[in-house]
Structure 1
């Protein structure tokens, strides 16, 4: 009998806040700007995002495990598929289950939010749901999984940044704004930085197995420079977002985030021991979540 603890490890609970941070940020902003925002839309956004994230995590565990990539990983969380704690056929069933649940939740979301008032937009979001499900699986699963060809950073930028923030904001308000677009870029880049830490940690094992990431294509030295670049540009875009909005005392707290992120960038740049990347990874996940929530109140 498979322990629930093994499934909890497979879904990687510590990563789930990332899937709801951008959605929550845009929801808080919309509450300040629009008289009435459908709370059910927000709840369904959260549920759909969580289901897609769980689907992606289990697919990643299965995909890397079935290819034998995890055999050469000595750092990071223990993989359930490769270790045999969860059988691969059970993971396939879980992938099918969460694909179905993601579709039901996603369809419910766009039906309640958009109905059929604008058929073109409804179809666009419907195709988007299908694409999100497909992308969550094929990041790691399949002979040509795009996560193994250097496209992981771009996909995270799109899904955890633009779609998460800008897409959900449209469902809340039926409008799009330049400042929300800038915020989506800022949050998206920070999420890419999280993936980059993960890839720097696994830089040798990924390359050995033929999995190409931006980190192992750049090499550890330039991957660290790339990391600093991601954080710097994100903070710049965040500061522009603040300047475009009303002045309030909360804006002064942005200075704290600047110092925290610069300290993090310094730690990463001088980090030598691979296992220490895990500590910075967990710290950055918390920082990105807090940053996203904080930016929601800058209105």
Structure 2
């Protein structure tokens, strides 16, 4: 029995497993998509709320899956420099975390049934694919997170799929602005994964994980992080000049006050200090989306 377990209540342990600091970033795509539908005059509250809950549940389910599968594969050890993982710490058994994961994904699938009923059956298929992708990140016979595929998959599902999907369930079509705005959202979410892989590259390499940070090194990972941030902010002026967005969408640049110090932490530090940048990048993504929504409201 882990003596540390007695320091936590059961509810607090599950709260740690949820990883609440990761949840705001999961909402970024929904905020951007809903801001666009409101600006286009086609916002629908029911599907929007369901999409928001699905985003949160998918993030929580992914966190549970990563927690238990990384432990079972020997990736999470006592040498890990990231925030506490409940399975590795002995606070929850693998079976308990898997039951929680199944419950969360079942709830997400039920909400996807509602979204399919209000829009298209293809949304249900998309939901199944998204859940399988969340499981396959660290689980299954070929965990793509261990083979350098985590970054593009994170970009795809947290960017284009999430933004375009949230827009579609409200309108039953996808506007050009929704497609284009899915790119900065996906880039900022991918940046969170880049920090995670930069911090863990030594222990990942020892465990046989071949993330991009392991394959190409720390300097390359920092350049990838900077490219994600730069791309997210640089795209906005082009979308405004092309007429897809109002000029007030530039309010998103206000989030640079968070992005710059976070980039400096990533640029200059190693190890556990990068946990600060991990949470900071999540705040950047949320602030970017909120400022974007405010800009469209001003329009």
Please report the TM-score for the alignment, with normalisation by the length of structure 1. Answer: 0.90
Deviates more, 1:169-178 or 1:56-65: 169-178
Change in CA separation of 1:123 and 1:111 when aligned onto 2, cut-off 3 Å: closer
Q: Which of these residues, 116, 123, 144, is aligned with residue 146 of structure 1?
A: 144
Q: Secondary structure at the match of 1:298?
A: helix
Q: Distance in 2 between matches of 1:169 and 1:5?
A: 35
| Deviant stretches of 4+, over 4 Å | none
- Counterpart residue number, 1:221: 219
Q: Which of these residues, 182, 185, 188, is aligned with residue 186 of structure 2?
A: 188
Q: Which of these residues, 93, 99, 102, is aligned with residue 93 of structure 1?
A: 99
> What is the deviation of 1:259?
5.4
Change in CA separation of 1:156 and 1:246 when aligned onto 2, cut-off 3 Å: same
Q: Distance in 1 between matches of 2:71 and 2:121?
A: 35
Structure 1 residues not aligned, in runs of 5+: 115-121
Change in CA separation of 1:170 and 1:206 when aligned onto 2, cut-off 3 Å: same
Structure 2 residues not aligned, in runs of 5+: 1-5
Deviation digits for residues 212-246 of structure 1 (CA, Å, limit 9, x no counterpart): 11111110111111111121122111332343322
- Counterpart residue number, 2:176: 178
Is 2:258–2:280's contact at 8 Å kept on the other side of the alignment?
Answer: no
Is 2:263–2:277's contact at 8 Å kept on the other side of the alignment?
Answer: no
Q: Which of these residues, 272, 289, 292, is aligned with residue 292 of structure 1?
A: 289
> What is the deviation of 1:76?
1.2
> What is the deviation of 1:136?
1.4
> What is the deviation of 1:143?
3.4
- Counterpart residue number, 2:246: 246
> What is the deviation of 1:202?
0.4
Matched positions, count: 287
Q: In the alignment, is residue 28 of structure 1 matched against residue 9 of structure 2? A: no
Please report the TM-score for the alignment, with normalisation by the length of structure 2. Answer: 0.90
Q: How does 1:1-299 map to 2 (within 5 A)?
A: 3-34=10-41, 36-71=42-77, 73-112=79-118, 114=119, 122-243=120-241, 244=243, 245-248=245-248, 251=250, 253-258=251-256, 260-271=258-269, 273-299=270-296
CA RMSD of aligned residues (A): 1.9
Is 1:61–1:80's contact at 8 Å kept on the other side of the alignment?
Answer: yes
Q: Secondary structure at the match of 2:121?
A: helix
Q: Secondary structure at the match of 1:137?
A: helix
Change in CA separation of 1:37 and 1:229 when aligned onto 2, cut-off 3 Å: closer
Is 2:30–2:163's contact at 8 Å kept on the other side of the alignment?
Answer: yes
Deviates more, 1:55-64 or 1:236-245: 236-245
